[in-house]
Structure 1
Amino acid sequence: MQVVILSEGSDLDAFSSAYGLTLLYPSTFILLPNVLQYKVSKAISLFQDKIKDKILTKEGINFEKVDKVFVVDSQTVPDVNVPIEIFDHHPNKSLNYKGKNVKLNLYNVGSITTVIVEKIKKAKVNLDKEDATILSLGIYDDTGGFKFSGTTERDLKAFTFLTKSGLDFLKLQQVVSDTFDLEDVEVIKEIIKNAEPLPVEGKKVYISTLYRKYSKDVAWILKYIKPFEPADAYFLVVNQKSKKFIIGRSKDESIDVGKILSQLDGGGHKFAASTTIVGFSYDEIKTFLTFLTAKHQKPLTSFIKTDLPTVEADLSIEEVKSYLGRYRYVVVLQNGRYVGILNDKLINNAIKHGFSNEKAIVFAEELITVSPDVSFIQLLKMFSTYQTDIFPVVEKGYYKGVIYKKEFVSEISGIKEDKPIFLPISKPKTVNYLNRVKKFFPLEIFQTLKEVGEYAEKLGYRAFIIGGVVRDIVLNKENLDVDIIVEGSAVDLIKAYAKDKNFNFYVYPEFMTGVILLPNGLKLDFATARKEEYDSPGSYPKVEKANLFEDLYRRDFTINTLAIEITKSNFGKLIDYFNGLVDIKEKRIRILHSLSFVEDPIRILRALRFAGRLNFKLEKKTENLLIYAVERDLLNFAPTGRINLELNLTFKEENTFEILMLMDRYKVLYKLFAGLSIDQNKEKVLIKLQDSFLLLEKVLGIHFPKNSNYLYVLLGNYPEEITYNLLKKYHFEKEASYLNEFYTTLQSIKNTDSIFDIYKTLKSFNRQFLPALMSLLPEDKFKIVLEMLEKEKKPVLTGEDLIKLGLKPSKIFKDILEDVFVKYLQNSIKTKEEAISYVKKTHLKRLSNQPE
């Protein structure tokens, strides 16, 4: 048994030549790919009776019974352990079949079917009319009806032979002719409208997207897209619910779309390939394709580094520490095989707790590993899933190196220089803030800070409050989250002060930090002023005691770099190295260096949260770098758990609406939530949500979770499947679990005019999502539900009223009260007197006859 394996996106030439091999070798069958060109699908349908016995499915094939595999019109070698023979007419010098049982037959013809027909003619295989027609399809289509420049005399002779064998020209035209219906025309128009160049230097590379549903295979139509005609290569992204199907075509040997799309877990050959991708937006895909086309049409081996030290598994922890040197990590091996990773913190803690002599293998952490041929898309998914800076590369159990997340992100973003985006002040600005500090803090905390400053001076240190609390002192915004930096030893200062005052405290000498717990329940966080330097991405940071300036330079934004000294002799002196005061006065957010968003993409969200909270603007250079970071999809490299945390903080802000509008303006929502944007209707619904929070809290007297309601409103226009996947992606588990109930309730209320049905639906609904539900309802239904809630809060009749009528409490009370309440909602009953009268007429006689 022999099999012809067709590549993804195979065309008529591949199909016809495969069919020809089944005629040459009767024990040969065709294995179709998942994706075929439209014309191939037409041919299979037209000649179904002729070819049905020659086609196998992947489920119906047992490769243990296969003696040989053929590949036609492609040089992509399938992963099978049998001899492979390739027939192709595309030169490809980059392929290497060393170590594989592959025979390559390469011909200079316009169609590879021509070669197969020549072999059929030589073998004197009898062809009937349908055989000849099927074979003619590949030659005619791949030579463009003999108009393409690559057409040879051999193609013409092979086609003439088929003509003499009786090919059916009517069926040939039926398959190869391009006749357009209205659907085809609309699809072509949309692809042309969306076409745009990718910024690949020295090459013409285009991309477009299709949102419209199309009943046919779209690949056949791409040659009619005008912007694609002069392109060296082009890509089409087809939207399919939560997935996107990508087609790649190339006319340039240096642009191998097969290798490019293999990095996105796809397949194909140098000139035609495809893939399906989940969880990324069109803009993100553009970034990926630009990077891969320009730089990485091969496995990402250039990112594998071998600089980390390695140790044997039976070494003691004490011995391993000596290998760390300037590195943060050490790789543990056993007989050359990978065991795990030890980091500096783990080693120091193990020694601290008395495990110096324990073997390295005991504590080695099995970090998630990757193989040397890990794809681009696999790395992206891992970066957003696992909160680690390094990914060990392991092949068949053996350690090959590591991939550093920061280096990878920096390369894709194109930001490599780590320079200040402004010149820090050589001599810091100082301002006397004593009176403002005294007014800002409660007396007890103020006195505590003075005492800490006195102890610092006794020890010969300097101490400062820094960061957000200083920013809020300047802005006069309440904040009792106090961080103290010590030029000296924070640990020694904590011990001296807390022991003297008999306060509870915790110190972490290895990190030079600690905490003092005050009797009033507040805490003071201490840290030694320090700086960190990295010789390479995996090197151990040189953590050294430093001065205030060096410590502050590690911060995120200039508005968070202010410090107020609390040392006794300088108590209340505000120190500003980075023009933070000016930035606060000018109401702007400014990062400290150009790699800030690359080092930590979460700063993108933080910058907009601070801007929205404080009503600040982004400084121009910072804005440009943020826009660039968003466009380069750096948020893909942020752990989704940290994105969850930052979004939750956003939803808790007073100015959530303003922050969300900024996130929309800078396309952050678009990147995080699959193309989400806030149009005028969405803006109105968000404003309505804010009003709903206030209104419902007043009516019902309860507080509602902000995150759940904002998420349901933001994603309210998406299909349930997409919303569910997005909520799960960012770990909003509760919201995902209630999503079906929310969508079902929303649609039920929208689709009924019955007060009773609305009431019954609302009775079983989880009330914590009411603000979002009401915000998404049309105005008439909003008023109905609000009135229902108001009346429910103050019902016209209660169980006590029924008891006063002489009725005995029972399960039927619920039915009576519900009946009365629905009449009350329908305005059939308006007063308590009318309700009592209604109960007497309708229920009293029946209830008075209840058995004892």
Structure 2
Amino acid sequence: MQVVILDEGSDLDAFSSAYGLTLLSPDTYILLPNSYDYKVRKTLDIFQEKVKNKVLKKQDVDFSKVNKAFIVDSQNIPDLDIPIEIFDHHPNKNLKRKNVKIHLYKTGSLSSVIVKKLKKQKIKIDKEDATILALGIYEDTGGFKFLGTTNKDLKAYSYLLNVGLDLIKLKYIVSDTFELEDTEALREIIKNVEALPVENKKVLISYLVKKYNKDTAWILKYVRPFEEADAYFLVVNQKSKKTIIARSKDKDIDVNKIMFQLDGGGHPFAASTTLVGFDYGEIKNFLTYLITGKDKPVSQFIKNDLPVVESDLSLSQVKSIINRFKYVVVLQSGKYAGILTDKTVNNAIKHGLKNEKAITFAQELITVSPSITFLQLLKVVSNYDIGIFPVVEKGFYKGVIYKKNVIKTLAGLNEDKPLFNLPSKVKTVNYSERLKRFFPKYVLDLLKEIGKFSEKLGYRSFIIGGVVRDIVLGKQNLDIDIIVEGSAVELIKKYAKENNLTYHVYPEFMTGNMVFPSGLKLDFATARKEEYDSPGSYPKVEKADLFQDLYRRDFTINTLAIEITYSNFGKLIDYFNGLVDIKEKRIRILHTLSFVEDPIRILRALRFAGRLGFKLENKTENLLKHAVEKDLLNFAPTGRINLELNLTFKEEKVLDILKIMDKYKVLYKLFGITLDREKEKILVKLQDNFLIFKELLNINFPSSNYIYALLSNYPEEIAYNLLKKYHFDKEAKYLNEFLSAFKTIEESQDRYTIYKTLKSFNREFLPALTSFLDSEKFKVIIDLLKKEKNPLIKGEELIKLGLKPSPEFKTILEDVFVKYLNDYFESKEMALSYIKKKYLKEV
């Protein structure tokens, strides 16, 4: 079984060609799209008996039984793992796929090609077959009046005429019958006709906003002003997209080339495309630029004016070369390796990295190919907030395209519109429904209330960071941070006063918080930017906007914001492709000096990677490795390292994070340790012990137990110094007691001695202590603690025996308890019998 797959909106030529293929191969069926030209609908209605056994709907086809597919009058390749043959009379878009064979012809109609094949193979056709085939030829050549008409079209039609045509049916189908909506659409198109500023040519353009349910192309021949034009364009508004229909009578205006640059195509004299995100004025600018002799419109923007350096040059050498330039191109083995900015070079040198190689901090900016289409260039320029786009072909640097030049050129084409309005880089998504599902109602109502209050003050407010990331991931989180474009301190003071709330503000840091009756605490900060004087130093901050605030953050997955200001409540804002990075499960820094300026981000990157199961993006990974190798963690404040380690120890996936830290040699740089098999076993036991002892003793053990496990291979003095260095002061204080208790318990066989040791030991660190013991000794400790929790005999039992409370109570209870610990008694009855024999006689 073979099928001919028709595109959405297919016209008569496509249908006639497809029908011809069913005559060439009887086991071939036409798959109709959901929508097609109204003239195809008329054809199906008139010739229903003839075509009913040749036409199928896509949903009715079992593709496992299809061994070949044909595509006609199109080059849109379906995603099928079977041989595909394309028949088309449009120029090739350089499509390549291993299972696709393409046949291209220079004719006004593709149906003419199929008729020639039928004639050559001497396949007999009747009058109805000939009429169906003739429809495509007549329609696509405009009754042989279009400039693209060829001798092959005339010969094919002549052959069909000799076979016999039903000219009455043909005329009925190709004739245009005007209805009210046709008249209204035509009136709007004529009203909106205007000329494009093209010298020595009459080029017209118009637009249609009114909803029109038919194929618009057929109506163009009735637009009287278009008849005298060398070329014309119609822009049809369709919800969020716009379709451009192009026609030309002048060989100097190849509308196929023009539409190709806008990711469309067709013939030199008839073509079309669809655009998303541009308005009518911008489309006029694009067409004007492309018409005025720009065979290679993108190449006009490619400049070769930047200095180029080899990858192994030092940053101090690059600084002497970069001179007055803002950028320098880095090559490695002759091929493009990235871009260095003057700011990156200067900051790196300021941080003492003047001898580092250029390749280390080269940014892998978005690159474009010299063969990129004009529309693709516009999309790239629109979507990325960077000033230049390196042009690279097969790895080799060819120049750069400056964003400002693209905007300036296009803006200058229209005197009435001095600025070219590229779509903003920022991506926005409506998350209001997601917020309703994520937050409890009282939290959602509170955020709305704060958003209203913020707007009343003339501010904009956003929830940002981790909570937004977790909203995207669907992970529960009520740790809410709010950024204010305005003054967070003023907002807190006024809102708290108005609602009688407890609050704290820190004006020097432009931050503060409010505590609500529900117990919820919200943290606020004024949008600000930062600058680091040295690696690991605390940054200098100053007021900024949301973009600048987010740009200072650690990773793209933490740069998402959701506005809570009343008029934009629920709008998610994504400047740095954070949503894509979350979807792709990768950790990516925002700029190449990120780990240099704040080495704590090394620990944070690995913590997030372990917690979320994400991987480091390639450049991020290389820069992290470099920062670790250069011992940049030695420059980080040890107090911040302590904070980050404690956050790691509290993570559910702490073992995964520690393994990642070990993989990147972070544990070695901090403590001089690696995770061997023995240490991993200890860590696994420790994680289990937290749960066991929590249930047994109902104690919330500090997560810092992990630090004892990590430093277990060190002598006491070294371990003590490391604990003090990283501010584990309590753990350092109890280290001697910890080691002494472990030694006693490990060596002792006397259960009471072990118990006395446990009794005097700081039980906060019991999970770590027991993780070093063998299974038998661990069982002993569990048994001892259970017996301590549930002693056989209590004071009330002694009173029931007739003993009066006295100092001897303690002696009796301790005597019984010691024997119970050593398994002397198997039951309460045995213990009571022992007391009666020994103590009641004495009394």
Task: Give the TM-score normalised by the residue count of structure 1.
Answer: 0.48
Larger RCO: Structure 1 or Structure 2 (Cα < 8 Å, ≥ 6 residues apart)? 1
Task: Give the TM-score normalised by the residue count of structure 2.
Answer: 0.49
